[in-house]
């Protein structure tokens, strides 16, 4: 994947090594890096988009290469949306547990200020797992799961679970329903929040069938799946997006483990506005291990404060550090981002020499050192628009220029295939 230019030369990351782009709005993250990456990718692509820019600028090129599907459950683009249900991966108890955890983690909004938030979301996942499993096995839909949660249904769920003969699922459901009344009701309320997206009839209608399938996306063609939501809907849809993306990444890892080789052709995962639409709970792990499995991750964030809010302080640091390439666009005023840059780059030693002339003909020189940050905050904040600071592995930092797709002839040609 090409990151930008340095002079006339292209700067690329090593094949499949994860990349993180951080920069305030309108600094070229999407047009200068995400769009070019998609236009030049020779393999399947999974991309999120909050504004429709990324979709609009790449869809023709991708349609020229393979099948394109759009998951736009709330109908934000006006284009036809494919359907997807979390129940596709819930036919096994392990699959249902994973899916419930993804949905709950996608919903657990902010890690800041919610001391016992994790407890309630974990408890909601434990309740949802047997519900999803029961629904998948009895050929029901998400509409039934929502009704079960809303009405705190027990009889129907027990019946469906009995048919599965899965002791662990039955026990998990009994454990949730057997809690004392106050806890039980809080857990159901949390589960309602997790499934809030499905309160929208449009979203529900686009969850009846499994039109989107990870195995088809990864079947060897140059297929594309876009996930789209507007800023207004992103919070509600977050759990659904997280579960869908995780299920596809999991399939990629499963295929790679089965063959013992990275997925070929490799999968490009572009998480534009990652903290808002797709805060994957294990994004740090994917950033660190994706290359070995044939998954190229490109994560786009506005600033580190956003990452701290979403994933919590410690995880956010790990997430940033696990991306091999970190591209900091200019103009950022976010204190955390600037501090990070200063911390990573460290200080540079500045040597001062002063000479004094004493007795005739005798000169003495004193050398002293002082230290100042290699990237003082104002340099990163005020560098020319379109440029970005590249921090790559343990290499020295470098300034690069983004390649806006509309300014590079090869990219604009790729964007508009005849
Ligand atoms: N087709 C185009 N032709 C010329 N300029 C464009 C075109 N598309 C976008 N731009 C400009 O490119 C600049 C960078 O926009 P871009 O969307 O890449 O920023 P961004 O960093 O992704 O911002 P955000 O965080 O808001 O998504 C904007 O000033 C925009 O007006
Ligand atoms: Mg953008």
- pLDDT at res. 112: 52
Q: Among 179, 187, 180, 157, which residue's Cα sits nearest to residue 96?
A: 157
- For residues 111 and 347, give the distance between their C-alpha atoms in angstroms, rounded to a whole number: 32
Looking at the structure, tell me whether residues 263 and 397 fall in a common domain: yes
- pLDDT at res. 342: 81
3-state SS, residue 206: coil
Full-model pTM: 0.92
Length of the chain: 418
Of 181, 203, 225, which residue is a domain's last? 203
Site residues for ligand 1, CB cut-off 6 Å: 23, 25-32, 53, 302, 406
- pLDDT at res. 115: 60
What's the CATH code of the domain at 63? Answer: 3.40.50.300
Looking at the structure, tell me whether residues 26 and 76 fall in a common domain: yes
**In angstroms, what is the C-alpha Rg of the chain?**
25
- pLDDT at res. 376: 67
Residue 365 lies in a domain: no
CA 16 from centroid of its chain's CA atoms:
16
Determine the distance separating the centroid of ligand 1 and the alpha carbon of 29, expressed in angstroms.
8
User: How many C-beta atoms lie closer than 10 Å to residue 118's C-beta?
Assistant: 14
Q: Among 16, 44, 42, which residue's Cα sits nearest to residue 218?
A: 44
- Per DSSP, the residues of 102-128 read HHHHHH---SSS-TTHHHHHHHHHHHH
Q: Which of 4, 20, 25, 26 to mutate to test the pocket of ligand 1 (most atoms within 8 A of CB)?
A: 26
Sign of CA dihedral 376, 378, 384, 389: positive
3-state SS, residue 2: strand
The residue nearest atom 1 of ligand 1, judged by CA position, is 406
Looking at the structure, tell me whether residues 307 and 222 fall in a common domain: yes
Looking at the structure, tell me whether residues 246 and 390 fall in a common domain: yes
Whole domain around residue 379: which residue ranges? 2-83+211-344+375-412
Looking at the structure, tell me whether residues 264 and 405 fall in a common domain: yes
The residue nearest atom 26 of ligand 1, judged by CA position, is 25
Q: Which of 4, 21, 29, 31 to mutate to test the pocket of ligand 1 (most atoms within 8 A of CB)?
A: 31
Q: Averaged in consecutive runs of 10 residues, what is the pLDDT profile of the chain (418 residues)?
A: 94 95 94 97 95 93 96 92 96 98 87 68 96 97 97 97 96 96 95 95 92 95 95 91 97 96 97 93 95 97 92 90 94 86 74 73 75 69 83 89 95 92
- For residues 19 and 401, give the distance between their C-alpha atoms in angstroms, rounded to a whole number: 15
Q: Among 51, 183, 48, 75, which residue's Cα sits nearest to residue 123?
A: 183
∠ CA 369-370-376, nearest 5°, is 145
Per the rule left: phi > 0, alpha: psi between -120 and 50, beta: everything else, 372 is beta
- Strand (E) or helix (H) holding 308: helix 304-311
């Amino acid at each position: 994947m090409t990151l930008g230019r340095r002079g006339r030369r292209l700067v690329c990351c090593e094949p499949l090594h994860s990349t993180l782009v951080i920069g305030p709005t309108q600094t070229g993250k999407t047009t200068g890096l995400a769009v070019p990456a998609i236009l030049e990718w020779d393999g399947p692509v999974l991309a999120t988009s909050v504004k429709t820019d990324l979709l609009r600028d790449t869809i023709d090129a991708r349609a020229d290469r393979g099948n394109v599907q759009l998951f736009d459950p709330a109908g934000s683009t006006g284009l036809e949306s494919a359907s997807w249900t979390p129940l596709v991966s819930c036919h096994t108890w392990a699959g249902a547990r994973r899916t419930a955890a993804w949905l709950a983690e996608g919903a657990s909004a902010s890690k800041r200020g919610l001391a016992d938030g994790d407890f309630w979301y974990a408890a909601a996942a434990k309740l949802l797992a047997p519900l999803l499993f029961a629904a998948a096995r009895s050929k029901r839909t998400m509409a039934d799961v929502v009704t079960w949660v809303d009405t705190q249904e027990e009889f129907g769920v027990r019946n469906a679970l009995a048919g599965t003969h899965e002791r662990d699922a039955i026990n998990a459901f009994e454990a949730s329903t057997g809690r004392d009344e106050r806890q039980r009701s809080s857990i159901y309320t949390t589960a309602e929040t997790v499934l809030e997206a499905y309160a929208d009839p449009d979203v529900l209608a686009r969850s009846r069938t499994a039109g989107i399938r990870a195995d088809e996306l990864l079947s060897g063609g140059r297929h594309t799946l876009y996930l789209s939501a507007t800023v207004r809907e992103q919070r509600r849809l977050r759990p659904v997006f997280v579960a869908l993306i995780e299920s596809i990444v999991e399939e990629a890892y499963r295929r790679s483990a089965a063959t013992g080789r990275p997925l070929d052709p490799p999968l490009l995962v572009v998480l534009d506005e990652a903290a808002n639409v797709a805060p994957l709970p294990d994004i740090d792990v994917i950033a660190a291990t994706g290359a070995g499995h044939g998954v190229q991750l490109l994560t786009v964030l506005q600033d580190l404060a956003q990452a701290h809010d979403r994933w919590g302080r410690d995880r956010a640091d790990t997430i940033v550090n696990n991306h091999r390439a970190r591209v900091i666009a200019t103009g950022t005023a976010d204190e955390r981002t600037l501090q990070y840059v200063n911390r990573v780059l460290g200080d540079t030693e500045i040597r001062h020499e002063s000479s004094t002339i004493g007795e005739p003909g005798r000169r003495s020189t004193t050398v002293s050192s002082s230290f100042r940050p290699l990237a003082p905050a104002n340099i990163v904040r005020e560098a020319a628009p379109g440029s970005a600071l590249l921090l790559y592995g343990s290499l020295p930092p470098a300034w690069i220029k983004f390649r806006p797709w509309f300014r590079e002839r090869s990219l604009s040609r790729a964007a508009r295939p005849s």
